[in-house]
Amino acid sequence: MRYLYLGSGLLYVHENLKDSDSNSFPSGNIYIAYKDSFKLNVPLDLIYTGYFQPTLEDGSDYHTLQKLKVSIPITDSVNLNFKLEHSYDSMPPAGVKKSDLSETISISYSF
């Protein structure tokens, strides 16, 4: 089954870093989420979510977050999951990287 979600909203961000002053600002939030189920040699779910969050004070200051997850059933209630996440901040606070990438392999159980 295939799903596509689009959305937008507003949020108020408060950054509190241990080596610098705190920072608060309003931000927009635009997102897309997509889920599809495939049957190759085994059935699997593919889930993508992407966020774009520009500050309302300066449109060149923004944050993006991309998430991709592939879930493969092992049994009716146990899945093997592979997740890839990438975040990017166009103007990060001092001492914080602009870009971060993480990979996760997990097993989930549903009941």
pLDDT tens by residue, 9-64: 999 988 887 777 778 899 999 999 999 998 888 889 999 999 999 999 998 999 99
Of 99, 94, 50, 48, give the one whose Cα is nearest residue 71: 48
Q: Is the pLDDT of residue 68 over 90?
A: yes
SS3 content of the chain, % helix, strand, coil (to 5): 0, 70, 30
> Residue 77 burial by CB count (10 A; 0-12/13-18/19+): exposed, middle or buried?
exposed
CB 32 within 8 A of CB 6: yes
Return the pLDDT at 27.
Answer: 95
Sheet of 62-73, strand order: 3-15, 23-39, 43-54, 62-73, 78-89, 99-109
Q: List, in sequence order, the alpha helices (H) in the chain.
A: none
Return the pLDDT at 53.
Answer: 96
The pTM assigned to this predicted structure is 0.83
**Each residue's pLDDT tens digit, 69-104:** 999 999 989 999 999 999 999 998 878 899 999 999
Return the pLDDT at 16.
Answer: 83
Grade residue 5 by pLDDT with cuts at 50, 70 and 90: very high
